[in-house]
Amino acid sequence: MHAPTIRLANVADADAISELFVQLGHPAGPEEVAARLERFAQAGEEALVAELDGAVVGVTALSVMPTLHRPTPVGRMSVLVVSEAVRGQGIGRALVAAAEARLAERGCALAEVTSNQQRVQAHAFYEGLGYERTSFRFFKALGGRPYLDH
């Protein structure tokens, strides 16, 4: 297998990202994904996709969060999913490496990733890349808005 190409996501990737989100258990139609990508970009945030032979097979979303208690912003990967058909081929590792590089370029000295506590295999993946479990994330839905996954 050859290495994936990692690039910034754009609205033309919405169909493929929608399929990846279904595999992750966060279904969203292509139109909704396209709208989210546009809002994300307008907020100054980025998503990266991995391509193999011209097909999008992975995605991660990056956010840069200035913090009052740290000297530099914190970078966050809020989603990472690789197509079930090509998992285990290093695509997730390539996406994380590209995300870390991009977050460092944007001034972050710390990268963090959120992962549902039920995703045990994902936890092992992140720990294998040097990520440590350091804190808990707490959840509360606001304003009666639906939230599908804790």
Which residues make beta-bridge pairs with 8? 48
Residue 141 in any domain: the answer is: no
Q: Strands across the sheet with 5-8, in order?
A: 5-8, 46-52, 55-65, 74-82, 110-113
Residue 135 in any domain: the answer is: no
pLDDT in tens, 68-106: 999 999 999 999 999 999 999 999 999 999 999 999 999
The total domain count for the chain is 1
Q: Quick one: pLDDT at residue 150?
A: 42
pTM, two decimal places: 0.89
Q: Quick one: pLDDT at residue 145?
A: 65
Residue 93 in any domain: the answer is: yes
Using 50 as the pLDDT threshold, list the residues of the chain that sit under it.
150
Residue 66 in any domain: the answer is: yes
Token pair, residue 60, equals 């991660």
Q: Quick one: pLDDT at residue 1?
A: 62
Distance CA 41, CA 26 (A): 20
Residue 146 in any domain: the answer is: no
Residue 68 in any domain: the answer is: yes
CA-CA distances (angstroms) from residue 71 to 34, 45, 57, 77?
34, 20, 35, 19
Distance CA 113, CA 46 (A): 15
Residue 137 in any domain: the answer is: no
Q: Quick one: pLDDT at residue 12?
A: 97
Structural domain of residue 78, as residue ranges? Answer: 5-128
Please tell me what DSSP assigns to residue 88. T
